[in-house]
């Protein structure tokens, strides 16, 4: 069975591949298949994840899994939430998609620090909603959600990961997410928590 990862974010694809290891399926990214990114117009993580999974399944003719994730900051009323990837004004498009993504991450982090300047309550959590569909019109998508609690620092620490990882401090681990290696992140993250719920469903419902 081929399972398409509905993401063009290479670092997210690497994380999802590692979390799906051992499932016994052929995992490919939509980028490898030349599939464009889906529109994400919705107000909730689950609706956007479902839209992305259906888009990848329709374009590939295969089963697909999508992650819609983001950072929710208590003092900002849950923002940036579903617009986490584009919290700051969009960075100009370039031929190097990874460089463009890194520039957007830097702009997003800068805006977050600006919005939290002088704010004492730094509580926040990462959210990941995973949706898997066997085909584009699957009436029974599999859904799982994970949440990872932390706090936003006043400055970035660490060089691993992506997005808001350098600002997101996990008190229970004593490090920012960007200071964790891949194995540590995949043992604790919001995506890891969501995948821990999804894998039994894939095995029990899809019989993988």
- What is the structure's pLDDT at 24? 86
- What is the structure's pLDDT at 166? 98
Hey, what's the torsion of the CAs at 138, 129, 19, 162, to 10 degrees? Answer: 130
By the 10 Å C-beta count (0-12 exposed, 13-18 middle, 19+ buried), 184 is classed as middle
β-strand partners of 27? 3
In this structure, what DSSP letter does residue 99 have?
A: H
What single string gives the DSSP state of each residue in 187-207?
HHSHHHHHHHHHHHHHHHTS-
Peptide bond into 80 cis (omega under 30): yes
The CA distances from residue 75 to 41, 44, 142, in Å, are 24, 19, 32
- What is the structure's pLDDT at 97? 79
The residue among 189, 196, 11 whose CA lies nearest residue 99 is: 11
Contact of 75 with 121, CB cutoff 8 Å? yes
Active-site hit among 26, 67, 68, 105: 68
- What is the structure's pLDDT at 71? 98
- What is the structure's pLDDT at 10? 86
The question of whether 68 is a catalytic residue gets the answer yes
pTM of the model: 0.93
Q: All domains of the chain, ordered by start, with CATH?
A: 2-204 (3.90.950.10)
The residue among 129, 121, 125 whose CA lies nearest residue 170 is: 125
Per-residue pLDDT tens, the chain, 208 aa: give them.
999 999 988 888 999 999 998 888 999 999 999 999 999 999 999 999 999 999 999 999 999 999 999 999 999 999 999 999 999 998 888 878 788 989 999 999 999 999 999 999 999 999 999 999 999 999 999 999 999 999 999 999 999 999 999 999 999 999 999 999 999 999 999 999 999 999 999 999 999 8
Structure tokens of 71? 């950072």
The residue among 146, 124, 126 whose CA lies nearest residue 76 is: 124
């Amino acid at each position: 069975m081929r399972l398409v990862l509905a993401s063009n974010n290479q670092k997210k694809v690497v994380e999802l591949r590692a979390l799906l290891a051992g499932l016994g399926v052929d995992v490919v990214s939509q980028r490898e298949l030349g599939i464009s990114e889906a529109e994400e117009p919705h107000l909730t993580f689950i609706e956007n994840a479902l839209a992305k999974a259906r888009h990848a399944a329709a374009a590939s003719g295969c089963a697909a899994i999508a992650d819609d994730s983001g950072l929710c900051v208590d003092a900002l009323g849950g923002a940036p939430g579903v617009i986490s990837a584009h919290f700051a004004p969009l960075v100009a498009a370039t031929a190097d998609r990874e460089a463009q993504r890194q520039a957007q991450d830097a702009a997003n982090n800068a805006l977050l620090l600006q919005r939290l300047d002088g704010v004492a309550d730094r509580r926040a959590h990462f959210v990941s909603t995973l949706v898997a569909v066997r085909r584009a019109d699957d009436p029974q998508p599999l859904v799982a959600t994970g949440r990872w609690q932390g706090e936003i620092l006043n400055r970035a620490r660490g060089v691993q990961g992506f997005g808001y990882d350098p600002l997101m401090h996990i008190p229970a681990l004593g490090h920012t997410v960007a200071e964790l290696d891949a194995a540590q992140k995949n043992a604790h993250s919001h995506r890891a928590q969501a995948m821990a719920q999804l894998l039994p469903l894939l095995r029990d419902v899809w019989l993988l």
